[in-house]
Amino acid sequence: MAKLVRVANKEAFEEKPGDDMIICRCEEITRGEIRRAVHDGMCTMNEVKRYLRSGMGLCQGQTCQRLVQGIIASELKTKPGEVGMIQGRAPVRPVEIGIFSQNITDVQEE
C-alpha cells in the first residue's frame, strides 16, 4: 500500500461562487468548508469526515456522501472513485452485560 503524504496547499485559498451552499444538511457543512479541507491537505472521504464531521449526522451520509465525494474529486482533479467512500461504523453505546445473557436465554428456550 502506498503511503499518502498530506501537505497543505501553499497557494492561498480562493473562494468561489456557491461556496456558501450547504452540502451536509445534518452537520450544516458548506461546499466552501469541504473545498478548504481539501486545500488544507485532506484527500479522502474519511479524512474530510473526521476533519469536518460530514456524513456523521442523522442521515449517516446517505444524503451528502456522493456530493462530498464529487467536491473532493473535483478539487483534486481526479475521479470520484479514487476518493473512496465513507467507512461505516456502528454506533457505540454502553450496554449492560445482563442484556446479552437475557437474549441467549430467550433463544435457548425456543
Domain CATH number, residue 68: 1.10.10.1100
Confidence of residue 70 (pLDDT cuts 50, 70, 90): very high
In the chain, the number of structural domains is 1
Question: pTM (2 decimals)?
Answer: 0.70
Task: With H, G, I as helix, E, B as strand and everything else as coil, classify residue 99.
Answer: helix
Burial of 41 (0-12, 13-18, 19+ CB in 10 A): middle
Instruction: Judge whether 27 and 52 are in contact, CB under 8 Å.
Output: yes
Structural domain of 59: 22-87
What whole-number distance in Å separates Cα of residue 48 and Cα of residue 64?
Answer: 12
What whole-number distance in Å separates Cα of residue 86 and Cα of residue 65?
Answer: 7
Is 98 among the domain residues?
Answer: no
Is 66 among the domain residues?
Answer: yes
- Give the distance from CA 61 to its chain's centroid: 7
Is 68 among the domain residues?
Answer: yes
Is 53 among the domain residues?
Answer: yes
pLDDT in tens, 33-61: 999 998 888 888 999 999 999 988 888 88
